[in-house]
Amino acid sequence: MIAGNSLFKIYGKGSVEVRALDGVDITISRGEFVGITGASGSGKSTLLHLLGLLDRPTSGSLRIDGVEVSALSEKERTAFRLNRLGYVFQDYALVPELTAEENIFLPSKVRGMTSKECTRACRDILSLVGLKDRVSFLPGEMSGGEQQRVAIARALINNPALILADEPCANLDTKNSIVILELLKKLNHDLRQTVVMVSHEEWHQRYFDRVVTLQDGKIISDIGT
């Protein structure tokens, strides 16, 4: 599913050079639920950004679903993100002027789904994330946990093979965090979707199949749970 070899991400030059990723080799199989942990500045978010095609490695090779993504053009990367990836942000990142349903079906509209198909798919996904009664709510009218579930629903709408979640519980209380983690676990289990989630909370690790720990841009441990 994912094969990253000798991934480097270097910011700055010379004496101010910062190696956010320092020769990372990582392989993730289809259907895995992988947690990436580490201290602040360890490179976990940088790695997720590379996997999410939001950034390019300084050097190294990255293959996702058999495609060498580091060689793709900007337009191809956008299309890849749309069709094959689902990204969940720490702060939900919903469009405030769109309702829950509209936020969710936006990516599928770009793919050319009809309004009827979009609505049906949205309702199904909102039921899946337990928000079918929030269809026409604006983000400002929902709690943080509900917004994050809408964000997850948005990531799912195009049925991606890979879901990337960047500290999705960072702004949530424990109760809501559990809801989100269980939801991700359920998706991973029921839909066989590969999930890569960045987290610095130790108790989250019980939901992961595997925990990859980074330190100073290097993988220092890669343990199955």
Partner 1 sequence: MLEEEQVAFFLASRLITRGNKGTLLLTVTIIALVFVNLIFLPSIIAGVVILFNQQTIDFSYGNLVIEPRENELVITKADELQQKINRIPGVVASSPRYAGGSTIVYKGRSASPLLVAIKPSDEVQVLKTHTKVISGDFLTDADRGQIVIGRTLAGSADQKVDRVASLGGAEVGKTVEVTFRNGETRQYRVKGILYSGTSATDSNAFITRKEYESVMGVSDSANQILVKTQTTGNEDAMRITLMQYGVQEQVWTWEDKSADFLQSIVGSFAIINFISTIVSLIIAIVIIFIVIFINTVYRRKQIGILQAIGIDRSIIIKSYIFQALFICVCGTAAGCVLLLLMLQYLTASPLVFPGGPVAPVLELSLVLQAVGSLFVVSLIAGYVPSWLTTREEILSAIRG
Sign of CA dihedral 152, 178, 172, 43: negative
Identify which range of 25-33, 60-68, 153-161, 180-188 contacts partner 1 by CB under 8 A: 153-161
Q: Pick the piece of the chain touching partner 1 (CB under 8 A) from 8-16, 28-36, 89-97, 182-190.
A: 89-97
The answer to whether 79 contacts partner 1 (rule: CB under 8 A) is: yes
Which of 1, 72, 138, 178 binds partner 1 (CB under 8 A)? It is 138
For residues 24-48, one letter each, b for 16 or more C-beta atoms within 10 angstroms of the residue's C-beta and e for the rest, the string is bebebeeebbbbbbbeeebbbbbbb
Residue 85 or 180 with smaller CB distance to partner 1: 85
Q: Binding of partner 1 at residue 54 (CB under 8 A)?
A: yes
Query: How many residues of this chain interact with partner 1, rule: CB under 8 A?
Result: 30
150 burial type by CB count under 10 A (0-12 exposed, 13-18 middle, 19+ buried): buried
Strands in the chain per DSSP E: 2-11, 18-28, 33-38, 59-64, 67-68, 85-88, 162-166, 194-198, 210-215, 218-224
Classify strands 59-64 and 218-224 as parallel, antiparallel or unpaired.
Answer: unpaired
Q: Does 110 bind partner 1 (CB under 8 A)?
A: yes
State yes or no: residue 97 binds partner 1 (CB under 8 A): yes
| C-beta of residue 1 within 8 angstroms of C-beta of residue 62 | no
User: Of these, 81, 134, 149, 204, which contacts partner 1 (CB under 8 A)?
Assistant: 81
Contacts of partner 1 in 175-204 (CB under 8 A): none
Q: Which residues bind partner 1 (CB under 8 A)?
A: 49, 52, 54-55, 75, 78-83, 85, 87, 89, 93, 95-98, 102, 106-107, 109-112, 138, 154-155, 158
